[in-house]
Amino acid sequence: MRLTPVAYLASYLLSLLGNSIAGVALPLIVLQTTGSALGTGAVAAATAFPAVLAGLVMGVVIDRINRRTSSVVTDLVSAASVAALPVVDMVSGLDLGWFILFGIIGSFGDVPGMTAREALLPAIVRHGGVSAERLMGIREGLGAIALLLGPAAAGTLMVLFDGSTVLWITAATSLLAALLTLLVPHRVGDVSTASGVAGTGAAAGGNGWAQLRDGWRVLFSSPFLVATTALTVVSAMVLGPLQALVLPVWFTRVEQPGMLGFVLTALAAGLLAGAASYAVAGTRGRRRTWFLAGLVGTGLGFGIIATLSSVWVVLAGAFVVGLSSGLFGSLMGVLMIERIPEQMRGRVMGTQNSIMIAAPTVGLMAAAVVTEYIGVGTAAVALAGVWLVAMAVGLFARSLRNLEPSADPTTQEAMVTTGA
């Protein structure tokens, strides 16, 4: 494999690993510093809306400038927002306000950074000498590794070092991710202006708001993009509450809270297996077959978890969900590479990522109400039922019946742009 995809994938892994460590370590550091659980929740709540807003607004910027540059800058913003915390701690001491301030600043690096990397994917495929299927399979596999290692690394670091040192280490991962991205040639990140696809010329003219609306038009006027975005969002809306609320409550009630961590392990192991399978064999067979395997397999996994019949059954369900999600996520990544117009990728994917950030919170709130007033078992069944409805829509949606690549890539872009 050439240097370009290797540098891209290594940068992706480090960035995701840093976010995974921060997701566990930062709430603990806030709690240690402020002594308030409410303060920890306030930081998360205060940064949620800016993260969604940043994903929307920065999509326009990503479509205007070199995408390698935008990826580097967003990683540097993430690194600086984390590194600023121990600096402030040394100078004047940290309080809740500082955590909220730098959490908001960091949100302008996290979601836009995710979008910038995804917008860069087609160019990595073109210049990297690697198939989209292999690249996406490896990428999803690395995501599983980060999911597996991040919490363990965060716990280990919090035991071995003080909070400030952990923050420096976390910032260093984002900084190193930015440096690795610089190994990708600058020309690879150039936004193509020669595709000639109808509707993509808006990237070059109009104000920011008009360009953002153009991106929304492309996204919401395409039955294909609406269907695939909805499936991905519903998956996050179901999996997030299961991990964060339903399963913790259930494991506590069966007096085995220590087994909760193994659910994440089983999920990550499944993701790794599914992604590896797609990386190796994704170019073989029909895409519709891969799609059905991922879609139905995820439904089966959620159904197994929803039974809450035993700890081992839940762990088996988590593995099935991970395995199927690895297949499904890899295929969705390939389809996004092929079917989102080049000049619109930042805006379309920025909107998708913003919705993805908000979706688990909506699901969590609904699951909390059901768990509190009806029961944890009902909440688990309800979440699985939501996915079954989405699965039925995915199975019968006309826009998802033909997933094979077009002989002419610009034809597919034109079909998406015009809503065909």
Per the CB < 8 A criterion, the answer to whether 82 and 170 are in contact is yes
Indicate the DSSP class of residue 207. Answer: -
The residue-averaged pLDDT of 43-65 equals: 84
Calculate the CA 311 to chain-centre distance. Answer: 27
| Alpha carbon distance 298, 56 (integer Å) | 29
Contacts of 101 (CB under 8 A, 6+ apart): none
pLDDT band at 52 (very low <50, low <70, confident <90, very high): confident
Cβ(189)–Cβ(120) under 8 Å? yes
Distance (Å) of CA 374 to CA 47, 355, 366, 380, 382? 31, 28, 12, 11, 11
Confidence class for position 39, pLDDT limits 50, 70, 90: confident
pLDDT value, residue 193:
43
Tokens of 206: 């109009």
Residue 279 corresponds to which amino acid? A
Tokens matching residue 200: 């993509």
Contact 17, 171 (CB under 8 A): no
Query: Can you give the pLDDT at residue 195?
Result: 42
CA distance 321 to 314: 10
Q: pLDDT of 253-267, one tens digit each?
A: 888 877 888 888 899
At residue 197, the pLDDT reads 39
HSE, CB side, 13 Å, CA atoms: give it for residue 60. Answer: 17
> Is residue 290's pLDDT more than 80?
yes
pLDDT score recorded for residue 158 = 87
| H-type alpha helices, 340-375 | 345-373
CATH of domain 3-182: 1.20.1250.20
Across the range 305-310, mean pLDDT stands at 93
The pLDDT value given to residue 270? 95
CA torsion through residues 38, 152, 48, 14, sign = positive
What are residue 309's phi and psi, to 5 degrees? -80, -30
Instruction: Reply yes or no on whether the pLDDT at 327 is more than 90.
Output: yes
Tell me the per-residue pLDDT of 119-148, one tens digit each, with 9 for 90 and over. Answer: 999 999 999 888 999 999 999 999 999 988
Distance CA 116, CA 134 (A): 20
Average pLDDT, the chain: 87
Q: Is the pLDDT of residue 397 over 60?
A: yes
Angle (CA) 212-216-217 rounded to 5° is 115
Q: Reduced to 3 states, what is the DSSP secondary structure of residue 185?
A: coil
Supply the CATH classification number for the domain 216-417.
1.20.1250.20
- Sign of the dihedral defined by the CA atoms of residues 235, 359, 65, 409, in that order: positive
How far out from the chain centre does Cα 37 lie? 26
Q: Sorting pLDDT into bands at 50, 70 and 90, what band is 360?
A: confident
Q: What is the number of residues in the chain?
A: 420
Q: What is the pLDDT of residue 162?
A: 87
Average pLDDT of the residues in 1-7: 88
What mean pLDDT is predicted for residues 159-186? 92
Distance of alpha carbon 361 from alpha carbon 78, whole angstroms: 22
Distance CA(95)–CA(34), nearest Å, equals 6
In the chain, CATH 1.20.1250.20 sits at: 3-182, 216-417
